[in-house]
Amino acid sequence: MNAALPRDLLPDYAPRPLPAAMLEALQARFGSRCSVALALREQHGRDESPFDVPPPDAVVFAETNEEVALVVALAQQHRVPVIPYGAGTSLEGHLLAVQGGVSLDVSRMNKILRVHAEDLTVTVQAGVTRNQLNNELRHQGLFFPIDPGADASLGGMAATRASGTNAVRYGTMRENVLGLTVVTAQGEIAQTGSRARKSSAGYDLTRLYVGSEGTLGVITELTLKLYPLPEAVSAAVCFFPSIDAAVQTTIQIIQMGVPIARCELLDANTVRAVNLHDRLGLRESAMLLMEFHGSPASVAEQAATVQEIAREFGGEDFDWATTPEARSKLWTARHHAYLSALQTRPGCRCVTTDTCVPISRLAESINASVREVEEAGIPYFIVGHVGDGNFHLGYLIDPAKPAERETAERLSHQMVARALALEGTCTGEHGIGLHKQGFLVEEAGEAAVALMRTLKRALDPHNIMNPGKIFRI
């Protein structure tokens, strides 16, 4: 889909060769579930980021906590990198084997272990994907709301602190993981958290592992919060004369405390792209795609309030969908946005951004970024979880033109610098991975990054867990 970026964008990492003794031990224990086939390795050394693939030296498919622990303990003994692998949908180079090592694939750990409908909790293995979970839960009248778009594994979603379209109402993985089973860098199996909704029992190990991008250990099981399927769900689109008008509407919705469940922005470029891709016939201007959850009365009330706010900012052509089919048609536009945008410039690749700012600064953040990209003349599109202050601007560049790549990187850096000046973050939901390490230092400051490095060194002194990600050691 995306042409690969040249390897020179990656920092210079020293590969660590896989000792024959370790490979033999893995093969003896895992048989055909340990593979060195190139195609499989390359598939595991790739994610949705635009970097060239440095493949791992081997791929191991683990099926139990104990197997994960065994692989990590062996890797610790031989000082070999371990890269946890779930569904391969991360976006920031998290899965790239920049120092070689073993890709530890947990996708076969895909059992839903315990549904406690009466407590609104579920315990799953890390390889369960969010669609799998929701398909299983639907007949019990429950759902897990975090929706990053891709059908990611829940372990991976925890590892990158993912969020997505429902976060404005239900929070992110940070708020929705109650506890974890993790395999530490020493190959120990540890439990964090419990099934209680809250606890003050010691350090918050759960939140330390959520967002740690595989660098502190392997998440093997998760206990998650569930929610009753809302009695009523209603989706709406509304079109605006400008991005600014759509964003101002969003700001007002949030400031008034309307408990909106989803509030997504698509710019005119994106709408044009999905019209081409799916013949949706939508009006080609900035659009908000919204969803309301609650009792019928509450949903109607929320919708009326929002419609009134939108009208103040020139919002038009409100269109409603209350049946699942009609809703799913409306959401097609959002779900196909990325693919559709890529197809508007054949052969292009996409440099994606992920800044998130306090809601009142969202308009200036987006407006300035639009101005800059328009001036630079690079094709682009914007989608945003604007209710959170988070948006993604994709620069659609021609990989054969280094000048375009440089421009996109420069604009991306300007956007991050602006987000930080507005007291926001360089990444709302994708994580740091390989590409945003410089941004992390700009954002968190040397003192905080030093604390992070101290934690990493303490928990993984030989730097075997997904080395080279988040920061260099």
From CA 203, how far away is CA 316, in angstroms rounded? Answer: 50
Q: How far is the CB of 142 from a second copy (least distance, A)?
A: 10
The residue within the footprint of a second copy, chosen from 22, 71, 432, 464 (CB under 8 A), is 432
| Residue 12 or 446 having the CB closest to a second copy | 446
The CA-based angle 148-343-384, given to 5 degrees, is: 35
Q: Look-up: residue for tokens 């007949």?
A: 139
Q: How far is the CB of 191 from a second copy (least distance, A)?
A: 6
DSSP state of 460: -
Quick one: tokens of 78?
């031989």
| Residue 33 or 413 having the CB closest to a second copy | 413
Strand partners, 222: 124, 180
112 binds a second copy per the rule CB under 8 A: no
CA distances from 394 to 102, 239, 412 (A): 32, 21, 9
421 binds a second copy per the rule CB under 8 A: no
Which residues in the 281-310 window bind a second copy by CB under 8 A?
A: 294-295, 297-298, 301
DSSP state of 51: B
230 binds a second copy per the rule CB under 8 A: yes
Strands 82-85, 380-385: pairing is unpaired
| Residue 1 or 190 having the CB closest to a second copy | 190
Q: How far is the CB of 59 from a second copy (least distance, A)?
A: 26
Close Cβ partners of 371 (under 8 Å, ≥ 6 residues apart): none
- Total residues at interface with a second copy (CB under 8 A): 93
447 binds a second copy per the rule CB under 8 A: yes
346 binds a second copy per the rule CB under 8 A: no
Which residues in the 369-408 window bind a second copy by CB under 8 A?
A: 388-390
| Residue 76 or 184 having the CB closest to a second copy | 184
64 binds a second copy per the rule CB under 8 A: no
From CA 291, how far away is CA 147, in angstroms rounded? Answer: 13
Which residues in the 235-254 window bind a second copy by CB under 8 A?
A: 251, 254
| Residue 17 or 228 having the CB closest to a second copy | 228
DSSP alpha helix (H) spans, 287-352? 296-312, 324-335, 337-343
105 binds a second copy per the rule CB under 8 A: no
353 binds a second copy per the rule CB under 8 A: no
From CA 229, how far away is CA 226, in angstroms rounded? Answer: 9
54 binds a second copy per the rule CB under 8 A: no
Q: Which amino acid is at 297?
A: A
The CA-based angle 5-11-15, given to 5 degrees, is: 100
Is 94 in contact with 214 (CB distance < 8 Å)?
yes
Q: How far is the CB of 417 from a second copy (least distance, A)?
A: 14
198 binds a second copy per the rule CB under 8 A: yes
439 binds a second copy per the rule CB under 8 A: yes
427 binds a second copy per the rule CB under 8 A: yes
What is the number of other CB atoms lying within 10 angstroms of the CB of residue 440? 19
Q: Which amino acid is at 298?
A: S
The residue within the footprint of a second copy, chosen from 4, 196, 276, 400 (CB under 8 A), is 196
The residue within the footprint of a second copy, chosen from 99, 107, 165, 212 (CB under 8 A), is 212
Is 65 in contact with 181 (CB distance < 8 Å)?
yes
CA-closest candidate to residue 124, choices 134, 111, 141: 111
Is 452 in contact with 471 (CB distance < 8 Å)?
yes
Binding mask 137-176 for a second copy (x = CB under 8 A): -----------------------xxxx---x---xx-xx-
Q: How far is the CB of 434 from a second copy (least distance, A)?
A: 13
Q: How far is the CB of 169 from a second copy (least distance, A)?
A: 11
